[in-house]
Structure 1
Amino acid sequence: MSSLSHHQQIEEGFQTWNLPFYFSKPVVRHLLHFIDGMSSIGFTGKLTEIHALSHHAKHRTTLGHFLQHSPWNESFLLRQSKKHVLRNMKKDEPTFLLLDDTISQKTKPSSQATSPIQATGFHFSHTDGKSVWGHQVVQLMMANQQTAFPFDFRLFCKEQDQSKIDLSLEMIRQVPTFNHPTYLLCDSWYTSKTIIEAAFCKGIHTIGAMKTNRILYPKGIRIQAKQFATHIQPTETNFVTIGQETYRVYRYEGALNDLANGIVLLCWPSDDETLDPKNMRCFLSTDVELTNEQILTYYGYRWRIETYFQQVKGHLGFQGYQVRSRKAIQRFWILVQFAYLFLSDIYGKSFTQTIHLVRKNKFASIIEFVHNSTKHGASLEQIKNELQVA
């Protein structure tokens, strides 16, 4: 057992997750240091930071070797994470699948670089409004009405045969079938025929943003949604309040391009009495039984995946990692997802609350260790050596 109480808490959590049953003691020890280092103040993604911040006794190169060459089975860690998520899904309320992608931006290497980071490329960033160099990840989260959990992900590489849609289909098809209502929430990039049909095959309805040039068929007339909007009168809309915001909403039910029947909500700000098409946003639901309020409320849960991206980039090193091989990158991302779930689980709180508690407890743990060591006659040099700060 470690002399640091916050390490002991992680070790006890590992027992609950059955990790020592599947992994050797050296692997479990490495996992502990990754969890500790990733959750520390100042961590940006570098392995040297994990080595320093987690008081690792071995040489820092062992961390890189652990990611790139060690024979531990990272797929088991991903399976345990998925089992944890599924246990948190409530059977008496809808389950939501959140689908989106994000970019971990990197510096483009020189053409003379001998060992550039693998699987990188140019990807369009909506945040920056331009193409940036880095890795793009397609992420699937699972959520209930209270919280959301990272469930699965795929690395998208333009050189491979699979598109982002293909990777999404792969993840959707691996989701277990639920006996209660399940909804896939996504932005307009993913509300495609193939995604919707794959979700249907799993008994999953789709709710997503929709491009305004999507074809509708009101009264059998083929017309783009934005053109159809010019024929709508303000008196044909209803006010719908979601949270603190109120919208003017027109409900269309009928055929769409590649979809026999669905609901499309054409929405404007409540103060737009002219129904300007430039201010309009469209939302699609394949579940025609839902009310306007339900569709917009459920779609609002999709924002949680954006929050997740911000959290893992800001706190767990998802943006700043510097490992180079594809295998090491994949393993690092699995560790990031595991850390997010594991820490929230052992503290029983949201990740935002958890990360502050983890850091506070770690500081207290080090103070406690120094106090107890001094009380038992340890010298300053001995304490520094034990904490790996000598």
Structure 2
Amino acid sequence: MNQSKSTIQHLINQSDQELRRLRYSAKSISTCHMFWNEFKIYSQEQDLEYYDHETARVFLKEKYNYPDISVDKHKPNVNAAANAIRRLGDMDLHGRFLGRFKKSVIPIPTGFQESYNAYIEYCIKRNNKPSTIKRNKILIKSFFEFLISTGVNEPLEITSRTLSDYTTTLLRFSKKSVQRELGAIKGYLKSTYFSGLITQDFSDSMPKLKFAQTEKPVMVWTEEEVFNLLNAVDRGNPYGKRDYAILLLVTQLGIRDSDIKNLKLTDLYWDKNIIEFTQLKTTQKITLPLLPEIGWAIIDYLKSGRPTTDCPYVFVIHKAPYSQVQKVGNIVARYQRESGIKVKSGNQHGIHSLRHTLASRLLEQHVDLELISGILGHVDVNSAKVYLHTDIDGLRQCALSLEKEVDYE
């Protein structure tokens, strides 16, 4: 047995104090106490007064069948039980809870205000998206909360050991979440160093975490499935005309959902037969051919489907005030359901999978990886190597002359 030197009741008291310090709601604290008391009684039945990690594991398995690898998601009460018992284990091993702290209750500590302001300015100068800056604010505030809880009250007190300890609190998160978290912390450390608030640049010495290869497989659509997806759209009504044009942009050009959402009328160069815009994700300009089917679909939408509005975006919501369309991914999901396309459980099957499919088909046709990277709008050609299944020339040869047909100004 991996038995603690702390009694279960002592850990419950410590955990209760920590939850209150972090300003958890009375309901959340009460829920934790319910599971803690249940575990305490379970341990007492086995003559255990001190916390034992193996007993905790067996308790969760016997009482709640946790973890259950046969399900994609546990029930809320099962997760609540696991989180409550995990907090006791964290308190026993680390004297604090591992993981991200409650986002809505984290103020900016006085000693970190100047470095926080410098970091936000750093993000703005790097042309980070507003959504990225918003997310990084949350991550940095969580980092500050950890620092304060360990006695670090200003940037000058940060050490390599501090960063190592913080990194261990991320072990339960997914690879993508950890990458975002560490990326935000590195940016903060770099901007703080550049601002002269710390004497050493710790950004390059952040500990690295290794992950098992457990990424979800990405669905590759067959030609028949893509055909059925498009064929499920009712092109006789305004919504269908809009959705059909959007799906063509995804399936034939691999444009990201964020870029479709932000595509403007001025991005369509009918005289040159191209679509040109600055990508939201990479901030890089990209030029793509205006393919015949896409061009005619957009014209059909502009002439016979799009509401009369001054909105600069191509695709709009068909209700006043006619702002740009939102949640493009929902359009794919809707017609996927309507077409009866089955998706293997656990596979990614949204817009990303359609971009993945386009790249795979091009690779199958022996198109150069650099050209595929250009089509998909990757800054680095290595980004396209993840597809490794599947002609820009063929695409560009399809460019069409439609300027005489267009009159949307």
- TM-score w.r.t. the length of structure 2 is 0.24
Larger Rg: 2
Higher-helix-fraction structure: 2
TM-score for the superposition, normalised by structure 1:
0.25
Greater relative contact order: 1 or 2 (C-alpha under 8 angstroms, separation 6 or more)? Answer: 1
